[in-house]
Amino acid sequence: MPDVNLNQLIAQAAASPRNPEVTAAIEYVTRILSTEEELSDDSRRELIRQAARLPAFEFESLRERLIARTKLRSAGFDRLVLAERPAELVEDAIEVPEDEPWRESVDGTNVLDEVSRTLRRFIYFHHDTDADALALWLAGTHCYTLFSIFPRAGFISPAEECGKSTAIELSAHLARRGMTAESLTPSVAFRIIDSYHPTLFIDEMDTFIEQVPDLNGILNSGHKHDGFVWRMAKVDDEFVPERFATYGPVAYGRIGKPVPTLFSRSLFFRMNRKPVSVNLDTLDVVQRPQLLEEFKQLRRRLAKWTDDAKDAIKLHVPDVSGLSNRKANNWLPLYKIAAAAGPDWELKARGCAMVPEPKRRDSDPVRLLRDIRDVFHSRGVEKMPTFMLVNDLNRQEESPWRRYHNGRDPIRAANLADLLETFEINPRLISLNGDEQLALFKSIRDKNRKIRGYELTQFKPEFERYLTGAANEVDVSPADTEAF
């Protein structure tokens, strides 16, 4: 089947037989659009809520007028309407038929080779091995229930027009039960995953994820086979807790890197604008409907092979040495699939896994640890007064400390203490002997000066837990003998 576009289904979800609520929504929207007085914020919210209940035809015919009336941008308006769509209407609108697996036996090496060639036909990859990695991931969508963890696939780029949407569209045609969305709310996401077990493709995630931060939690929980969320659901006019399963394959496209928690659960495909000299086939299933049949045959062959090979895939224990813990977890399912396909694909999988991942975006506490390690390393000392450490942090131009407050004001000693409390590291009264004072201030105030500060030994266990690589030389502040 072609991939299901979730946003289109949501737009059609209210097209069920008219009921009093739908009739009331049509009357309300029509009345508001017929007036010209300025809308209050509450009135705009109510107009959006009622617009979300319109049948598909009425909504599409009135959409432009509604956007003008609410004085919102079209993308913002659509996101707000989507958030108000009753989730049960969305579920009722969706039919996701299952492909019938290919009837004849399928050779794993041949089908994965063909998937990889098809991906290269339409997509320009930053790393040539990415087509093989994506082929393995797509095969995994047909057998993800065999694994305790299945990684997210992240298509990331530095700017627009780098091929992310094309990669998502094509991947959705080849995955099991591919379903695409350009905007998504948490309530829709976990209901769709729990009810239909799709391979969910979320495009342009950077344009809306900050407005729906709970979606990150759902995507994180679904990385593991027992992932779930609890929500209140209405049963017989009463609200009761209900558990929704969230495990399943998910891919997303975005400009820039995701938050650290989703980052660590993802395999990444870096997307860049293709060189002018590179020619690719055009992915246009409207003008070339024969592509849909081609993709369907590949889907069915993947389904047949993964089903026949499920015992070999499940029982194989690959060697993931050389990969970090989280990366090993993410690559384990793909290593298993590759081994079932044969030795050529085992080698390809290892080559794919060795491609360096993008540098992760540290959380504030981890970024702080990294900068503190660099400062101690650059000064070559074992102890530092608080004021000096704060001054050094504020000199790190690529870190957030010099604009920590409201994007303007630098970090202070109290903020530093609050952040380090996460690691149970607290400032203490430290003694600085003459040599230590000379190393820090180029002078000696007294032979055994005491001052509030931090010792390197407090940080070393956390450096080992959270940081990789070597410390860097960084800019540090000049000696401040007056403050000393």
pLDDT in tens, 156-197: 998 888 999 999 999 999 999 999 888 787 878 888 898 889
Weakest-pLDDT range from 153-162, 184-193, 239-248, 469-478 = 184-193
* 164-174 and 130-141 helices, crossing angle to 10°: 40
CB 225, CB 149: distance < 8 Å:
yes
Domain boundaries, the chain: 4-89, 108-353, 364-466
Q: What is the pLDDT of residue 422?
A: 85
Say if CB 416 and CB 389 are below 8 A apart.
Answer: yes
Q: Cα(95)–Cα(84) distance, rounded to whole angstroms?
A: 21
- Residue 283: C-alpha distances to residues 203, 286, 292, 299 (Å): 16, 9, 10, 17
Query: CB–CB of 156/165 below 8 Å?
Result: no
Contact of 390 with 426, CB cutoff 8 Å: no
Residue that has been written with the tokens 């369907």 in this structure: 296
Give the other-Cβ count within 10 Å of 341's Cβ: 26
pLDDT(474) > 70: yes
Q: Judge whether residue 76 has pLDDT over 80.
A: no
Q: What is the pLDDT of residues 9-47, one digit of tens each?
A: 655 554 444 567 778 888 898 899 988 888 888 888 899
From 113-117, 245-249, 288-292, 354-358, the region with the lowest mean pLDDT? 354-358
In this prediction, residues 133-142 reach a mean pLDDT of 98
Q: What is the pLDDT of residue 53?
A: 82
Q: Rounded to the nearest 5°, which phi and psi values hold at 384?
A: -145, 135
Give the list of residues 6+ apart from residue 243 with CB closer than 8 angstroms, or none: 228, 229, 230
**Under CATH, what is the fold of the domain 108-353?**
Rossmann fold (3.40.50)
374-392 mean pLDDT: 95
Instruction: Return the ∠ at Cα 137 (arms to 298 and 346), rounded to 5°.
Output: 95
What pTM value is reported for the model? Answer: 0.68
Mean local confidence (pLDDT), 431-438: 90
Choice between 480 and 150, residue whose per-residue pLDDT is larger: 150
> Tokens at residue 317, please?
């224990």
CA distances from 299 to 180, 214, 303, 472 (A): 16, 32, 6, 48
Residue 402 and residue 432 in contact, taking contact as beta carbons nearer than 8 Å: no
Q: Taking 80 as the threshold, does the pLDDT of residue 318 lie above it?
A: yes
